[in-house]
Amino acid sequence: MAKASGTNNQSQSAVGEPYFCEECKRNHTKGKIYKEHLNFAKFESVEDKVVDDNIEISDLVSNDDSISKEEEALSYEVEEIEDVDKVIDEDDLDEEVDEDDLDEEIDEDDLDDELENYTDDANACVEAVKKLPGVGEATLKKLIKAGFSSLESIAYTPPTIIQKESGLGDKTIEKLIKASMEKLGIGFKSAEVVWEHRKNIARITSGSQELDNLFGGGIETGCVIEFFGEFRTGKTQLAHQLCVNVQLPKEAGGLNGSALYIDTEGTFRPERIIQMAEGHDLDHKKVLKNIVFGRAYNSDHQVMLVKEATNLIKEKNIKLIIVDSLIGHFRSEYIGRGTLANRQQTINGHLHDLLRLTDIFPDLCVVVTNQVQSKPDVFYGNPTVAAGGNIVAHGSTIRVYLRKGKGEQRVAKMIDAPHLPDGEAVFSITENGIID
Ligand code: GTP
Ligand code: MG
């Protein structure tokens, strides 16, 4: 509960203003990222909580504070050791990440442990990075620690971000990006090659044939899909259903993969996953185990969780990332016109982090949900628009508007897609999940 109240305190202050952070029990400045918040930005397996700890599901979901006591204790331990009042300031970071200094900070055992968890596929990616010209042991460690463990992650990330996160020098990064792009053959290609790629694009079934048809045969990978609509229109239900369906075999409309769920509103419900798994005759324990869950307590946590997700994608065979919801924290934390530019800039960076993941991992699907805000000046037609404005509209590849129908029915309307016609689909939310 303490974590959630920190968010509230933060929400009352504008960017640049001090606020009392309940999580750290210290004064912070709104809009800055704090080192100690990294302690809260952690993922956990849903199954670990439900099965291993023998916690009743109802306990789990009624307890908003999903950070375990051990984690909390750990965060206090870290507080004692570090000077946690120190804000991660860009200038400080530049000084801090003098390459030799960083070498000392990186614990070799840590890195070996990390690599041990990698799948063969992920290790092959690391091997490719290792073979780039000029990549020695120290550079490789810095890259992996910062989440750049594949050629794609280096090639598609702006140099300034690689520098900020890895601490490597400008020239080294420039060379690494150039070499990665050459190895990946990034440049112009014929439309035929692009078509070959698109023909084989992987899709996840939504559970409803009509809704799948609206998407041209299922929710496609390699892009960011936004579901927006009013409350109770089924955004969270769809997000849950996709976490189950992504685990189905390919012939059943899945991707044989795992899901990563970033919950910003505290509305993730393992019992709904169990019901939906049962709808497919799946072992719900296995289904829960294959969902990596992270609760974002404020917008800083949310941004950090996405950054942290990069390393988990290969390791855990993640094929679907959910952010439910994308804008909620930003809306409540950045209040007033004066904060608008700052808010939009942060959301833009966050969306680009998500989009970049789909470039790096083309068989990954990113689904975000979004609330609507009322447009009081509209008298005819739909008086609601998606929150987040043009930044979110242009950041999402496919946008679908959800509204309530009769009873269990919901209507999905294709608002924007580069290759799909406008259209509508009706689906139902039932106990066992989404159906026609
Ligand atoms: P906000 O997050 O408030 O913006 O709404 P949302 O769009 O995320 O709504 P959500 O996906 O949580 O949908 C909630 C609705 O799903 C409920 O009002 C019910 O209509 C339906 N629903 C949830 N669980 C069940 C269930 O077990 N059986 C049935 N039949 N419907 C359910
Ligand atoms: Mg919801």
Nearest atom (ligand 1) to Cα of 430 = 30
φ, ψ (nearest 5 deg) of residue 229: 175, 175
pLDDT band at 377 (very low <50, low <70, confident <90, very high): low
This prediction's pTM? 0.74
- Distance (angstroms) between ligand 1 centre and the Cα of 234 equals 5
Residue range 191-435, CATH number = 3.40.50.300
| Structure-model confidence comparison of residues 87 and 314, the more confident one | 314
Of the CA atoms within 13 Å of residue 234, those in its CB half-sphere come to 27
Of the CA atoms within 13 Å of residue 388, those in its CB half-sphere come to 30
Mean pLDDT of 138-167: 91
- pLDDT tens for each residue of 76-130: 333 333 433 344 344 444 443 344 444 444 455 566 666 666 667 778 888 899 9
CA distance 388 to 83: 35
Burial class (CB within 10 angstroms; exposed 0-12, middle 13-18, buried 19+) of 200: exposed
CA distance 10 to 83: 21
Contact, 23 vs 40, CB < 8 A?
Answer: yes
pLDDT at 325 over 80: yes
- pLDDT tens for each residue of 3-54: 333 344 454 556 667 777 776 677 777 666 665 665 555 677 676 555 444 4
pLDDT at 62 over 50: no
Nearest atom (ligand 1) to Cα of 239 = 11
**Where along the chain do its domains lie?**
2-75, 90-184, 191-435
Max Cα-Cα span within the chain: 64
Contact, 168 vs 93, CB < 8 A?
Answer: no
Residue range 90-184, CATH number = 1.10.150.20
Burial class (CB within 10 angstroms; exposed 0-12, middle 13-18, buried 19+) of 353: middle
Q: CB neighbours of 376 closer than 8 A, spacing ≥ 6?
A: 383
Contact, 244 vs 280, CB < 8 A?
Answer: yes
Asked if residue 430 has its Cβ within 6 Å of ligand 1, the reply is yes
Contacts 24+ apart (CB under 8 A), 180-188: 180/129, 180/132, 180/151, 180/152, 180/154, 180/155, 181/155, 183/128, 183/132, 183/151, 184/151, 184/152, 184/155, 186/155
- Amino acid letter at 206? S
- E runs forming strands in 149-290: 203-204, 219-220, 224-229, 258-263
Best substitution site from 61, 230, 236, 427 to test ligand 1's pocket, by max atoms within 8 Å of Cβ?
236
Lowest mean pLDDT among 32-36, 216-220, 316-320, 417-421: 32-36
Asked if residue 188 has its Cβ within 6 Å of ligand 1, the reply is no
CB within 5 A of ion ligand 2: which residues? 235-236, 267
Q: What is the pLDDT of residue 296?
A: 93
Pairing label, strands 258-263, 318-324: parallel
The protein residue with its alpha carbon nearest to ligand 1, atom 6, reads 232
